[in-house]
Amino acid sequence: MGASSRPNPSILASPVGAPVEGRVARAEHFFLSSLESWRQSVGVEKMVLVGHSLGGYLASAYALRYPERVSSLILVSPAGIPHGPDTAPKGRIIASKAAEQQHRRASVDDVDAAQMEMQDPKEDEAAMAKARDQSVVRRGLTKFFLWGWEKGLSPFSILRGIGPWGPLLVGKYSSRRFAAQTPEDVRDLHAYIYATSVLKGSGEFCISHLLAPGAYARMPIVDRIHKLRMPVTFLYGDNDWMDVEGGLLSEHILAKEGNKDVQVHVVPTAGHHLYLDNPKFTNRVLDERIKSAPKMAAE
């Protein structure tokens, strides 16, 4: 993103049906090797590493690969931490299926009750037909989305291809998502998002190798995090679409492994971009954890 060199990610091209482990390893290396090269070039021996969203996933992966280079790990609304529906342990899958069946039974009961209350049979038939049509459209869109995700298609490619309608589309998103910011900040955010999104694609084509549809990691960090020995901090917004349960489970796992310096914070009145939604709370936690990070021994 930003003004980075945007290297060609063609090295990640995988044949259909390639093992997940290989896809993930190549995609992680694409990012982690760049970060490690940067660290070496600027002469940083050890650092407090902060990552947001996908950056949280990659910061975790970097800390696992180069633990001697990370004094403290701070994960801000991180992606890829918990299990998803396709990677959950067997017991969790069974529980999820039971909950889903119960939800379906409740939904059927609700539909039956609603149908009994309908007075006009013609209105009933029209409503059922409309529901069927909407269901077909939803299934079609879902199949297209899943196909595009697995093929590595990027929404930014669409943005690059629609020409003058691009700024309008981004403007609607930025004005809605960042409505709590000042008009000047919204304009700056809009300009940044659009300018970076229409540049040459690079890392965006790696996301589908790391994450399955729904933004769940193909190889969840929670299954690897037990190896970390440095302080770890999780921050989530109270209206975040990232799952705080991933942070809480990680805290439990790390505590069992002897790492007691783990914190999970829920930032009030904040969503995924909690550093914008509630900067005062977010910055206070960041400042405290950065200052408490273990210092390097004097040489």
Alpha helices per DSSP H over the chain:
20-42, 54-65, 90-117, 121-150, 155-161, 165-177, 183-197, 207-210, 244-256, 274-277, 279-291
Residues with catalytic roles? 53, 240, 272
Confidence bin at 43 (pLDDT 50/70/90)? very high
Task: Give the model confidence (pLDDT) of 173-210 as tens digits.
Answer: 888 888 888 999 999 999 988 888 888 888 888 888 89
Can you give the residue ranges of every domain in the chain? 91-144, 155-200
Better pLDDT: 172 or 286 = 286
Task: Give the model confidence (pLDDT) of 88-114 as tens digits.
Answer: 665 444 434 443 444 444 444 443 444
Q: Find how far residue 126's CA is from the centre of its chain.
A: 40
Give the pLDDT confidence score for residue 19 in this predicted structure.
87
Better pLDDT: 159 or 296 = 159
- Beta carbons within 10 angstroms of residue 174's beta carbon: 22
Lowest mean pLDDT: which of 76-80, 157-161, 261-265?
157-161
Better pLDDT: 152 or 20 = 20
Give the pLDDT confidence score for residue 93 in this predicted structure.
42
The pair of three-digit structure tokens given for residue 3, joined into one six-digit string: 């003004």
Confidence bin at 226 (pLDDT 50/70/90)? very high
pLDDT of 128 strictly over 90? no
Q: Do β-strands 211-212 and 216-217 pair in parallel, antiparallel, or remain unpaired?
A: antiparallel
Give the pLDDT confidence score for residue 87 in this predicted structure.
66
Once rounded to an integer, what is the mean pLDDT over residues 256-285? Answer: 96
Calpha distance 259→294 (Å, rounded): 14
The structure's pTM equals 0.78
Give the pLDDT confidence score for residue 276 in this predicted structure.
93
Give the pLDDT confidence score for residue 141 in this predicted structure.
61
**Average model confidence (pLDDT) across the chain:** 82
Contact between residue 278 and residue 262 where contact means Cβ atoms under 8 Å apart:
no
